[in-house]
Each structure stands twice: as structure tokens, then as C-alpha cells.
Amino acid sequence: MRQILHILTQPNDPLAAKIIAAQRQEPDHQVRVADLTVPEADYHALLQEIFSSDSIEVW
Amino acid sequence: MKPSWLLIITSDPRTSARPAEAIRIAAGVGTWKKADVSVYLRGPAVLALSEFADEFIDEDNYTRYFPIIGEFGRPIYVEQGAPRLAEIGESPMRYQEISDVELAALAARHNHVARF
């Protein structure tokens, strides 16, 4: 299982949304999203996610 | 296994310095062969493949660093069917058009993905 983390730094990013949706179709991908554009963004959780991810995609 | 990095470039090289900077960084990181660096161009960024870079911001970066990226042994990936591809003329770079689904798979295979 490939752990993929998307970090969103811009609101309403259509390309990121498209890539996330396509990757979620793959059964061997576990896709997680850290949305830093919202006030309640959890940076401590993000740090843990970064250390446990195979692929980190920053948008 | 070497770490891998995919640079997704979507900015317009005629109005933004970001594509030129991304190409400089990609060449600088990849040339040491300690990481596999790939480049994907989308939207107006495909113009970076143009035969002539005269109209681009920081045009020297294209002539100086793009050839280095060309030596990494893989094509420059570009958005399939990007309208601006019709404007690039005879590109000096080897490139390959890929679909959005292929881009998603390409991104998933890389350890790091950054957008410029």
C-alpha cells in the first residue's frame, strides 16, 4: 500500500482535486489530504503524516 | 533506491519567473544523480518547450539548464492536448504527452511533488 499525502496550500485547486480523485481510484494507494487553507489546519498531525508517507505532493 | 522528485510547472513563462526558476532547480538537483528528477508542463507552461526563449522571463535559464534536464534520460512530460503545444515549433527537447490519469500515476510514483 503506497501512502500518498497531498498538502493543499491554495483553496479550490482544480488540478490537485483531479489528481487526488484519480489516485483514489487505485486500490493500492492510500491517499490523505492535509488542507492548510482552513483555519483549523492541524500542523502537528501534518508532521506525523509527513514522516509516514511514501509520496508527498505539495500544491 | 534514490529519492524522486516531480516538478509540476503550470505558470506562464512569458509572465512569470517561476518556470525558469523551476528548471534551474531541477537541473541543479538532478545533475548530482542523487535524486531522480522529472518535469511536467501544463497549460501555458508548455510554451517553455519552444524553440526560442526570447520572450520568456529569465530566458537564460532555458538555454542553460533545459539541456541538462534533457540528459536525465527521460522526456519532459507535458499535458496531453495542451492547446499551446501548437505554438512551440521545433522543440529542442524530447517530450511526451500524458493524460491526467497518467499524471496522477506519475505523481504517486514520486517521493516528492512540487508545483511551480
Q: Is B113 on the interface with A (CB under 8 A)?
A: yes
Average pLDDT for chain A: 90
Domain B4-115 has CATH 3.60.20.40: no
Which residues of chain A does B7 touch, with a Cβ-Cβ cutoff of 8 Å? Answer: none
Cα–Cα–Cα angle for B59, B104, B102, nearest 5°? 85
Mention every residue, 6+ apart, whose C-beta is less than 8 A from residue A25: none
pLDDT class of A43 with cuts at 50, 70, 90: confident
Which residues of chain B does A55 touch, with a Cβ-Cβ cutoff of 8 Å? Answer: 107-113
Is B42 close to A15, i.e. CB distance below 8 A? Answer: yes
Max Cα-Cα span within chain B: 39
> Domain boundaries in chain B?
4-115
**What pLDDT shows up at residue B109?**
87
Is B105 close to A15, i.e. CB distance below 8 A? Answer: no
The grid cell for B68 is: 541538462
pLDDT class of A49 with cuts at 50, 70, 90: confident
The grid cell for B50 is: 519552444
Nearest to B113 among A2, A18, A58 (CB): A58
Distance (Å) from the C-alpha of residue B110 to the closest C-alpha of chain A?
6
**What pLDDT shows up at residue A40?**
79
Q: Is A42 on the interface with B (CB under 8 A)?
A: no
- Residue A10 pLDDT exceeds 90: no
Q: Is B114 on the interface with A (CB under 8 A)?
A: yes
**What pLDDT shows up at residue B38?**
97
Q: Is A29 on the interface with B (CB under 8 A)?
A: yes
* Segment B75-93, tens digit of pLDDT: 999 999 999 899 888 788 8
Residue ranges of chain B whose pLDDT lies below 50? none
3 state SS for chain A: CEEEEEEECCCCCHHHHHHHHHHCCCCCEEEEEEECCCCCCCHHHHHHHHHCCCEEEEC
* Segment A15-41, tens digit of pLDDT: 999 899 999 988 989 897 999 998 878
The grid cell for B82 is: 495542451
**What pLDDT shows up at residue A51?**
83
